Chains A and B, each alone.
Chain A
Amino acid sequence: MSDYPIIRTVGLSGILVTFAGAMDDHANRVALAFRAAVEAEAWPEVSETSMSLVSVFVVTDLVTYPAEEIIARLQDLLDARDWSDPALPEGRTLWHVPTVYGTDLAPQLEEAAKAVGIDPDEAIRQLSASRVRVLTIGFSPGQPYLGQLDAQWNIPRQQDLTKSVPSGALVLAIRQMCLFTNATPTGWRHVGQTAFRTFSQQSDAPFALSPGDELIFPSVSAAELEKIRAGSTASFGGADREVIA
């Protein structure tokens, strides 16, 4: 779409660069790369940056700094590069997070499989083999939105909210998964349960994940998850990590 990217002010808090009007994998990769480019400029007027699914938010005090100047600089940065096939940043992490699918720990797996039109075993086979990327982190501290799953997983949110699913829940809707930081109500379906903690405030590195990291959720039994929870690796839920070059 030639309308994008769009650069707009966000209240008096900063500037937003939007790469698409709806979730789109390419736009998400552009946003990831563009945020890295803005960070690399280290402009003194920019106090922090963040990204959502298809946009980059550049925090700057618009009371002190005229919006036009920052917008012009962002436009120059956009113009300086070809964004048609942005490389993902280096040094990202691939996480293998042990996950219990279905059972009473994740009671909506069958429902989700039915919505896709496959049987639960096939659903587990597909989900446990899907490698997904952290599209953005938001809503709660450290909480990743993960995607995208194959097109058949484009199932809608449920009509009613589930009152609460626990911390570490792997939930699914609209070709995305989300790994919950805290117990929370949700309209997404609870298909898996992990012991992964996305946010540990006492830690020197309080957030486990960064946008661009990738995750795989191999299937384990409830007994194995119980063992992980009892063990010393509980904060990362027994996850293995490897650096993606």
Chain B
Amino acid sequence: MSGALKVLSAGPALSLQDLGRRGYLAFGLTRGGAADTLALHEGAALLGQSAELAAIEMTGMGSTFEATADTVIALTGARMTATLDGAPLVWNASHALPAGAKLAIGGVQAGTCGYLHVAGGFDVPVQMGARGSHLNAGIGGLLEADDALPLTDASARSGYFLTPDNRLAGGTIHVIESIQTTEFSEETRARFAATPFRRDPRGNRQGVRMDSDGDGFFARDGLSIVSEVIVPGDIQITGDGAPFVLMCESQTTGGYPRIGTVIPSDLPKVAQAPVGAPLKFEFVSHEEARALETRARAAIKALAGQVQPLVRDPADIADLLSYQLVSGVVSASADPFET
């Protein structure tokens, strides 16, 4: 261990998150983990480390931080305002965070959940196989002012960026049929697929409510269905006919019928949709869903190769004169392709 990241002032919904816990479904505990797991992979690609490491999830609002030792950070997910000792930082990029410098992450500009990663991940104890907080289950909790998260003795490169997959403004969400889809009439399912929804303000790590104009969506047998297993992405229709997309901290079982299931690679888009953002649900076949997932997994594998050096506007660099700007200049007559 070498130093810590101190939380100087905490936003309202700040927690440590990773890829969550597996193996506890039989005991009523869902996986949990980051609401936008793609953001974890992006942070890992930027810092050249494992996506299993924990990062800080910041919902809606960031916080101010200070490290007690030099480290490197990466910022991913929802775009938020960020400054380092007052100088603006580019989002979706890695930056050096010198000891004592003040990192201020403000409000969200696009999306909902932003992520702050550190080189080597946070060195907090593993609890039941993971470091992330499962807020609904009472494992871990929200970060608060004066918390200090131990840093790992690890280095990473800074000054790299990644152009993220566009997922911060809602859009089309692919859905497949699941065990209770046929409890809804064909007419209801067709109307569901044709309805423009908006993300309702009611939403958290357990589920996100969808708002629409017109009638609700009701299953044939209504409220008398036997309680059955729930998986993240399930679109549950509660008593008033409004759909909830169940997220990473959903309950493991439930009695309200589910009209379909969001495919895993589209869940980050639901998590990131800001309040009021338009969303539409498009049913795809099991085979199409598999093809979409296969493509999304390949894209995650390709992230590391897409990381590029950050070219900064010199006006943004507070200590420009301290940089060595001329090293690496090459001969104008040399053949750059010669090896």
Contact = CB atoms under 8 A, between A and B. Distances in A.
Interface of A: 8-14, 16, 18, 20-23, 35, 47-55, 57, 59, 62-63, 67, 136-143, 181-182, 199, 201, 206-207, 210-211
Given A10-B179, A63-B290, A201-B127, A138 B253 contact: yes
Nearest to A137: B28
Nearest to A56: B229
Contacts, number: 116
Nearest to A24: B226
A138 B252 CA distance: 6
Q: Which 9 A-B pairs have the closest CB atoms?
A: A11-B261, A138-B253, A50-B26, A50-B25, A13-B231, A63-B293, A57-B229, A207-B27, A141-B29
A51 B26 CA distance: 6
Interface in B93-108: none
A8 B179 contact: yes
A173 to B, nearest CB: 12
A48 B29 contact: no
Contacts of B179: 8, 10, 16, 18
Residue of B26, B251, B253 contacting most chain A CB atoms (<10 Å)? B26
B226 A53 contact: yes
B228 A52 contact: yes
Given A138-B251, A181-B28, 13 more contacts: A10-B179, A11-B233, A11-B234, A12-B261, A12-B293, A13-B261, A21-B226, A62-B286, A63-B294, A141-B27, A141-B28, A201-B127, A206-B128
Contacts of A139: 28, 251-254
Interface string B283-303: 000100110011001000000
B28 to A, nearest CB: 5
B219 to A, nearest CB: 14
A222 to B, nearest CB: 26
B26 A137 contact: yes
B138 A52 contact: no
A55 B227 CA distance: 10
A23 B286 CA distance: 29
Contact of B226 (A48, A54, A138): A54
A23 B293 CA distance: 35
Contact of A22 (B128, B226, B231, B263): B226
